[in-house]
Amino acid sequence: MHSSRRSILSTTWLWSYVGAVLVFIAIALVSANALGTLTASASFASFFMLVGLGQMLVITLGPGNIDLSIPYAIGLTGFIAMKTMNAADGNIAVGILAGLAVGAAIGAFNFGLIRMLRVPPMIATLASGFIVQTFSIVFFRGLQIKPPPGLAAFVDIKLGPLPLLFVLVAAIAVVMHFVLTRSPYGRHIQATGQNVKAASLAGINLDTTRLATYVLCGVFSGLTGILLSAFGGGVTLGMGREYLLNSIAVPVIGGSSIAGGNSNVPGILGASLLLLLILYLLDILGFTVGLRYILTGVVILGIIFASGQTRTLTS
């Protein structure tokens, strides 16, 4: 009895793959170029995975932990990376480092607010998001900075039907899977999410664990900002907007508990593909933008109802 319960719990992520495969079959039925659709959705799914991984780590920390600064961090890191690269291939490495560093700094700032001001994470990251967005507006608005040709070409490389970008991000996800399930850090965040007091009594340094998590989430946002700028041919201020809600939807659809303490990486990959494939299927079927939004919402709700996500205990 106990083991069967566990096996169901541990395979909640399977549903996202079942859904993704079903949607892909539907695409194959209605589209002459199903593989092309897979390629296109896999590119955008890479970005969903990156923000999903970051948000997943934060959510794992437990009730109330959520990073609302992700969309603004994507914008600012994109701007800083592109500005540093200045469209020159020779500056790609330093530009990436700059973008990731800014992402990490935003994460550290988030943690600093939460820890020192004793503000709930949702409010701290919301406020820092406002501040980060202001930096983007003040310093970079209206700047048209093209990505270096080398980087733009790199994010466009295809390995058969899959973009190289997707393969690399999937590789990052594999690493994160082992970080989450095998490394001391991964166990610390899961333990913290399950029971803060017990985790603290077990000798886990809560501050270090939380700091590392918010910094990692910032780094993932930074990576998203850099790659998205390269992919889209430049940075726009609202570039990260759609990643706020999706960064939360991805881990949840993938079977991670919104209440924390119980996350999984395979679901991130499945859920990202599922969400993007649905969008492309609806697009092929000629659904309007409005209907695509509505059905995305219905899918998110359907999965949540079916999987019975437990509530967040904010108290």
Instruction: Give Cβ neighbours of residue 287 (< 8 Å, ≥ 6 apart).
Output: 295
150 forms part of the interface with other proteins (CB under 8 A): no
Site for other proteins in 185-244 (CB under 8 A): none
Q: Of 64, 97, 146, 185, which one interacts with other proteins (CB under 8 A)?
A: 64
Span from 98-106, 161-169, 181-189, 251-259 in contact with other proteins (CB under 8 A): 251-259
292 forms part of the interface with other proteins (CB under 8 A): yes
Return d(Cα 306, Cα 314) in angstroms, integer. Answer: 23
1 forms part of the interface with other proteins (CB under 8 A): no
* Residue whose CB is less far from other proteins, 148 or 188: 188
Span from 14-22, 36-44, 183-191, 306-314 in contact with other proteins (CB under 8 A): 306-314
Span from 31-39, 64-72, 83-91, 152-160 in contact with other proteins (CB under 8 A): 64-72
* Residue whose CB is less far from other proteins, 35 or 127: 127
Residue 306: count other Cβ atoms within 10 Å of its Cβ: 10
Minimum CB distance to other proteins, residue 123 (Å): 5
8 forms part of the interface with other proteins (CB under 8 A): no
4 forms part of the interface with other proteins (CB under 8 A): no
**Cα angle for residues 26, 28, 32 (degrees, 5° grid):** 135
288 forms part of the interface with other proteins (CB under 8 A): yes
CA dihedral 96, 98, 99, 100 (to 10 degrees): 80
Return d(Cα 114, Cα 101) in angstroms, integer. Answer: 20
Give the total residue count for the chain.
315
295 forms part of the interface with other proteins (CB under 8 A): yes
**Two tokens at 190?**
């899961």
182 forms part of the interface with other proteins (CB under 8 A): no
Site for other proteins in 117-146 (CB under 8 A): 117-120, 122-124, 126-131, 133-135, 137-138, 141
Span from 17-25, 79-87, 215-223, 291-299 in contact with other proteins (CB under 8 A): 291-299
Minimum CB distance to other proteins, residue 68 (Å): 7
**Cα angle for residues 8, 295, 62 (degrees, 5° grid):** 45
305 forms part of the interface with other proteins (CB under 8 A): yes
DSSP 39-107: HHHHHHHHHHHHHHHHHHHHHHT-TT---TTHHHHHHHHHHHHHHHHTT-GGGHHHHHHHHHHHHHHHH
DSSP state of 117: S
DSSP 9-30: HHTTTHHHHHHHHHHHHHHHHH
**Two tokens at 156?**
């466009």
Query: What residues line the site for other proteins (CB under 8 A)?
Result: 64, 66, 68, 113, 117-120, 122-124, 126-131, 133-135, 137-138, 141, 245, 248-249, 252, 258-259, 288-298, 300-301, 304-305, 308-312, 314-315
